[in-house]
Amino acid sequence: MRVLGIETSCDDTGIALYDSEDGLLAHRLFSQTELHLDYGGVVPELASRDHIRKALPLIRRVMQEANTTPEQIHGIAYTSGPGLAGALLVGAALGRSLAYAWNVPAVGVHHMEGHLLSPMLEPDPPAFPFTALLVSGGHTLLADVQALGQYTILGESMDDAVGEAFDKTAKLLGLGYPGGPAIAKAAVSGNPKQFRFPRPMTQRRKTQGEHPGLDFSFSGLKTAVVTAIRNQSLTSQFIANVAASFEEAAVDVLAIKCEWALERTGAKQLVVAGGVSANLKLRARLKQLSEKIRVRVYFPRLEFATDNGAMIAYAGYLRLAKGQHEPLSFGARARWRIEDIDTATA
Ligand code: KG4
Ligand code: ZN
């Protein structure tokens, strides 16, 4: 089965062709970073309009590269949520229209399910069941994953997502958008021990050794950065030290919670995905942890950690293969919990 994947949930237009026999055939991404740069963040209406401009030419290109004609495509997968409503509707309208024109089924894919399954595009992929850490600009969650669609959230952020904390901290430091890669780059020449930023919700109680659970909170970490930089001159060494200390704190929190989650589930595989999983410090720390507790850890390749069409094509293939597809009407969901994929329709 050959599936065309369309990702337009935020500021990247991602297109890919996945084939159940031959794997990923071709994939292309157009990043809108430059378009939003002057605004310090994504402007939803500009994002939607640019998806309209870029999606079809990218689809043509990917089909050409994969030497694929419309007759060879068996289904279409598009991101139907969560994300920016207008941006999602572009992908949904295009996906449904092509499916109608080519007379093939179309399926709306949950963006975070796409991330969750992205490590399965790699050689030697993880197999269900496993424990997952999903870290992106909008989500930070730990989940017990039993099978496709069988997800139980073990913990999630009560305020900012970890990617959002990277983005906000980068803004405070004048490092621009998107913040994650900018912080990681600045941190390379910084001292991670220069500032002792808080690791919220990670202190075990002294008496029984009980831990405070698997939820996250990142807004306090950002506030600590605000306090640390107040009345300071932002020299490049100072910025590097704050970036490195912030990154260290964020990575510590994620690693501690992963360890506790694995203690709880007893899983022998940890899957880590979403934009922040591109962070090399996080990857190194989780590899260390996995060796210490004898659990295997899986990541997507770096380019598939952040938003892309390949993960949507793949998740869509799995759903289409189960016989799932959408009626002719379609919608998009700006908000959508990953636990609710199989219990409600858009
Ligand atoms: O998954 P993604 O591309 O989009 C969403 O679904 O949100 O994740 C984007 C997030 C942004 O917050 C970005 O700053 C963060 O991932 N990010 C990183 C890195 N690369 C991207 N955070 C830390 N280190 C990175 N190398
Ligand atoms: Zn994403």
Contact 11 CB / ligand 1 (< 6 Å): no
In degrees and rounded to multiples of 5, residue 212 shows phi and psi of -80, 20
147 alpha carbon – ligand 2 mean position (Å)? 21
115 alpha carbon – ligand 2 mean position (Å)? 7
- Residues of the chain with pLDDT > 70, as a percent, come to 99
Contact 83 CB / ligand 1 (< 6 Å): no
- Parts of the chain with a pLDDT under 50: none
- Which bound ligand lies closest to the C-alpha atom of 302? 1
Contact 167 CB / ligand 1 (< 6 Å): yes
Q: How far apart are CA 195 and CA 276, in angstroms?
A: 22
Contact 25 CB / ligand 1 (< 6 Å): no
Q: How far apart are CA 167 and CA 169, in angstroms?
A: 6
Contact 10 CB / ligand 1 (< 6 Å): yes
Contact 137 CB / ligand 1 (< 6 Å): yes
Specify the pLDDT at position 345: 53
Supply angle C-alpha 313, 109, 179, rounded to 5. Answer: 85
100 alpha carbon – ligand 1 mean position (Å)? 34
Please choose from 276, 280, 311, 336 the residue to mutate so as to test ligand 1's pocket, defined by most ligand atoms within 8 A of CB. 276
For the CA of 281, the nearest atom of ligand 1: 24
Contact 300 CB / ligand 1 (< 6 Å): no
303 alpha carbon – ligand 2 mean position (Å)? 12
> In this structure, which residue's CA is closest to atom 10 in ligand 1?
137
Give me the torsion for CA of 79, 82, 86, 92, rounded to 10°. Answer: 20
Q: What is the residue-averaged pLDDT of the chain?
A: 96
Q: How far apart are CA 158 and CA 298, in angstroms?
A: 25
Give the pTM: 0.96
The full length of the chain comes to 346
Contact 184 CB / ligand 1 (< 6 Å): yes
Contact 247 CB / ligand 1 (< 6 Å): no
Supply angle C-alpha 183, 338, 223, rounded to 5. Answer: 35
Taking a 5 Å cut-off on Cβ, the residues next to ion ligand 2 are 136, 307
> In this structure, which residue's CA is closest to atom 18 in ligand 1?
180
Which pLDDT tens digit goes with each residue over 96-115? 999 999 999 999 999 999 99
Specify the pLDDT at position 344: 61
Q: How far apart are CA 137 and CA 274, in angstroms?
A: 8
Name the residue among 101, 104, 27, 22 with its Cα closest to residue 64. Answer: 27
Specify the pLDDT at position 53: 98
Specify the pLDDT at position 329: 78
Q: Strand order of the sheet with strand 106-110?
A: 23-31, 12-19, 2-7, 75-81, 106-110
Q: 320: which 2 tokens?
A: 């289409």
Q: Domains for the chain: give ranges and CATH numbers.
A: 2-116+305-340 (3.30.420.40), 127-299 (3.30.420.40)
Q: 163: which 2 tokens?
A: 């990617």
> In this structure, which residue's CA is closest to atom 3 in ligand 1?
306
Q: How far apart are CA 1 and CA 237, in angstroms?
A: 53
Specify the pLDDT at position 328: 77
